[in-house]
Amino acid sequence: MFGAGAIGGHLAARLARGGAEVSVVARGAHLAAMRERGLTVETPEERFTVPVRASDDPAALGPQDAVLVTVKTPALEAAAAQIPSLLGPDTPVAFVLNGIPWWHEASPPHRLHEAVGLGRTLGGVVWSACTVEEPGTIRVQTAANRLILGETQPGPSERAAPILSALEAGGMSGVASKDIRRDIWLKLLNNLSNGPICLLSRADMRTTFSDPAVREAALSVLREGLAIAAAEGHDVSKGAEERAMRSVTLPHKPSILQDVEAGRPTEFATLFEAPLAIARARGVPTPTLDLLVALARVASFQR
């Protein structure tokens, strides 16, 4: 597991609980806590702790059977120099990230094309509302958590099966997708509909969307996002409004707001700017999203 923040830590703990031999690349107090007492997950139903092998030096861990990359997208440039030490001849690398991925045709050239390559790459989407409660401890908000993996081009993926099997054994749903790009858009619609607005409110989703006018703004963004996805060849309209409105009832801050409040680099470019660039290239009007992203940019980076 390359990166063991909230999402990476949760996945690592589930995989270890499911019987996988898990190595984790982490740093700082989080790393120290995992080395001392393992990795703990707290959910609404239970609390469990698993031992993991952890290091801040990927080279010390050596080649792995599979690598899951869960760092935020601003960290991918540095990761490109470190991931190769984890690779054996046939090691797949699953990038479980938010937003338009580095391997998408609309994304600019990235060092990962050379360092990892498309041949090894799996796309990934995770649905899990969680935070780092304290070093070594991940708090998960809901019982509905799942990881989706698939090849970067449409079709089945045999390489995803062992990862997802261990995850299922650890108590988390694992789904093999035949069209991971569609799943990326499904997740991105949620990010678009709640992220910019929560960056303006500086509050959790339940608080932010308690006003009907704010919920209607989120639905307007959602519809614009559906139009961008459709222009890319992905009809993800089924259940979209219900799914978005269900997510905004959580007393949870979107990860991008957590990053802004902690002073960390954010995924603003891949979550918001990249979809807008695709919209402009495809001729899709996005007036509400344009406005909210512009205001969120000012609110987040000029304080």
Range(s) for CATH 3.40.50.720 in the chain?
A: 6-178
**Given a cut of 80, is residue 1 above it in pLDDT?**
yes
As a whole number, the mean pLDDT across the chain is 95
Query: So what's the pLDDT on residue 242?
Result: 87
**Given a cut of 90, is residue 63 above it in pLDDT?**
yes
- Tens digit of pLDDT for each residue in 86-96? 999 999 999 99
- Tens digit of pLDDT for each residue in 234-250? 999 998 888 888 888 88
Percent of the chain at pLDDT > 90 equals 92
Give the domain 182-301 fold. N-(1-d-carboxylethyl)-l-norvaline Dehydrogenase; domain 2 (1.10.1040)
Is 238 catalytic? The answer is no
pLDDT band at 79 (very low <50, low <70, confident <90, very high): very high
- Tens digit of pLDDT for each residue in 148-178? 999 999 999 999 999 999 999 999 999 999 9
Range(s) for CATH 1.10.1040.10 in the chain?
A: 182-301
**Given a cut of 60, is residue 303 above it in pLDDT?**
no
Active-site residue, selected from the candidate residues 72, 178, 187, 238:
187
- Across 51-65, 106-120, 237-251, least confident range: 237-251
**Given a cut of 80, is residue 302 above it in pLDDT?**
no
Return the amino acid letter for 147.
L
Give the domain 6-178 fold. Rossmann fold (3.40.50)
User: Residues 118, 152: contact at Cβ < 8 Å?
Assistant: yes
Mean pLDDT, residues 140-147: 89
